[in-house]
Amino acid sequence: MKKLFLLCMLISFSNLVSADNLVSGVKITTIGNTPDGSKSFFVRTSGGTGPCANGAVIVFPLSLSADEATHNRAFSIALTAYTTKSQTVKISALSSGDTNCRRAAYIDLSS
């Protein structure tokens, strides 16, 4: 059982390492529960760099999260970034080469 757990952790970590930034160095200006009735939430950003910079709608589908708790944590981080007006948010896709703004899976908030 420990070996299976370690294997899952390594696979998850390798996905994060290979993830491509959709946008970095941005401020979240809007956050909502779903853009289209799907199991997702979305953010809109201002500034920053990357393919989803300068006002693009960035969607976090539940299907790209490990589980619902992980998805809820991503929403919590996005909400924290919105309420604190943080300028140091980075949002990434799950896999390398994916620049679709509707397939975000990872959000990083730095001070």
Q: What does the pLDDT read at residue 8?
A: 41
CATH number at residue 47: 2.40.50
71: which 2 tokens? 């998805």
Q: How many domains does the chain have?
A: 1
Q: What are the tens digits of pLDDT across the range 60-105?
A: 999 999 999 999 999 999 999 999 987 688 999 877 778 899 999 9
Q: What are the tens digits of pLDDT across the range 7-57?
A: 344 444 444 445 678 999 999 999 999 878 899 999 999 999 999 998 899
Q: What does the pLDDT read at residue 5?
A: 43
- pTM, whole model, 2 decimals? 0.79
- Can you tell me the distance from the alpha carbon of 60 to that of 52, in angstroms, rounded to the nearest whole number? 13
- Can you tell me the distance from the alpha carbon of 55 to that of 95, in angstroms, rounded to the nearest whole number? 22
Q: Each residue of 75-86: b (16+ CB within 10 Å) or e?
A: bebbeebbeeeb
Domain extent, residue 32, equals: 2-109
**Sheet with strand 40-46: strands edge to edge:** 57-61, 40-46, 21-32, 89-93, 104-109
- Can you tell me the distance from the alpha carbon of 78 to that of 80, in angstroms, rounded to the nearest whole number? 5
- Can you tell me the distance from the alpha carbon of 92 to that of 105, in angstroms, rounded to the nearest whole number? 6
Beta-carbon-side half-sphere exposure of residue 38 (alpha carbons within 13 Å): 13
Q: What is the largest CA-CA distance in the chain?
A: 45
- Can you tell me the distance from the alpha carbon of 75 to that of 84, in angstroms, rounded to the nearest whole number? 14
